[in-house]
Structure 1
Amino acid sequence: MGIQRTVMSFERDFTQIPNAWLRDIRLSRRAKGLLAELMTHRVGWHISIASLQAAGTEGRDAIRKAIAELASLGYLEVSQARGGRGRFNEVEYELSEPTGVGFSVTGGFTDSGATDIGESDTKKTISTEHEREEDTLVREFAEFWYVYPRKTGKADARRAFKSIRRTTELSTIMAGVRGFALLQAGGDKRFVMEAAKWLHGRRWEDEEQIPAIESRSPAETPLQLTQYCSRHPDYVLDFRSGECASCERQRSEVAS
């Protein structure tokens, strides 16, 4: 007499995704959601953009942007075969494991396909410290982005900020960006350089002078447009909500 192990119905309803993938600060939450959805399908499954569009609320353009984002960071690879007369067929993508900074080629799994267990205390400590550093960078960049006057090129700005923070104190960067925001207040944001260029050029070191406030009318005074939070003096108030970025973040954490 014996007992046979059979396949249970619920075993088809679970998905394994490395934590590092869903915590990748380079990815937008839309791209992470698409990545998670793709991982729910079995190996060999083919899914079209049209079917993704039909299964959700995002339009074709939004899905294409998320796909391009995943491809640019190594989560998807282009697989384009040639058809008749040597012409390329329609572009296809394949899921792949990113091998950039902070990622393992095996995606956190052993060669046998089982998850790693029995990690050493040292490895756990390093992993925890790395996660804390990443969380800190996310918060710091959010502070910087909230103040910077032009809101384009965010992904490039995030990468530039991460690089600059290795050698420059946050207080130095924030003091510089606040001064720059004052200089640009009331101007056409289209002519403001993107944040990545500002960071790579270390423009906070420029010796630009803010025009004397006394000589300007209230309508021309940039300081009239900027107030700092009484609870968080390093943060600029949003005149529409009456809160700073830190206030909004704390309120969101309490609500969740």
Structure 2
Amino acid sequence: MSMESMVKAMKTKVGNPLRKLVLIKLADNANDQGECWPSYQHIADQCEIGRSTVKLHIRELEKAGYLRREYRRKGELNQSNLFHLSLDGGAANALGGGAGDNPPGAGDNPGGGAGAAPRTSHPSEPVKEPKPVCETDPQEGFAVFWKLYPRKVQKAKAEAAWEKLAVTPEMFTVITAALARQVTSIDWLKSNGQFIPHPTSWLNGKRWEDELQPAAVAAPSRHSGFDQIDYEEGLERDENGNFRIAGSGQ
């Protein structure tokens, strides 16, 4: 995990809470060069959302210039994409813009960097890099937390509670990811935020471990599983951005 990428991701405004959660997850997996290669399913499992939803938000992040995807193959098999995060300047730093997904079974994406042989030796999921045994900067970590927390009361007490926790990089990741989920929960959105706990109570009570009901709860349906379908499977994009059957060359 790159703490620098995590802090930048938390400060980046992407206009959608689930998109922000996906960006935070990518930053959590990124190395110090802003590179990571988690699979779509791994991101979906960690963020507790559908695989197709992950792909949608990654496309939007790429269009906005916050990341670039490098498609990788090993022989005839696709491997997880290599993601290059670009969180310093958004669209100004985008390389190539929002390319389409490289679906299972499709050919190499033109210009996607799939031929970069050294990348194909990586495992499908990122390996955590060794980190020095140290704590995060308490002031910097609290400043990020305070900016994100929606109920800003009793700042001095909240900062004291933060320092008492002695937040580690791993703990910081858990706290910020949980906060990103809870700000969209029913308990926090109802009654104009009346039931959002004070930040001091939230920290002292380790409320990031709470399991809250998401804001949008759909009624049970006989029609399920559509979010797990990859509607682009077996297709690829031509140079004009149009879909065609993979390998047809037409």
Asked if these proteins are the same fold (TM beyond 0.5), I'd say no
* Structure number with higher strand proportion: 2
* Structure number with higher helix proportion: 1
Q: TM-score, normalised by structure 2?
A: 0.31
Which protein is bigger by CA-based radius of gyration? Answer: 1
Higher relative contact order at CA 8 Å, sep ≥6: structure 1 or structure 2? 2
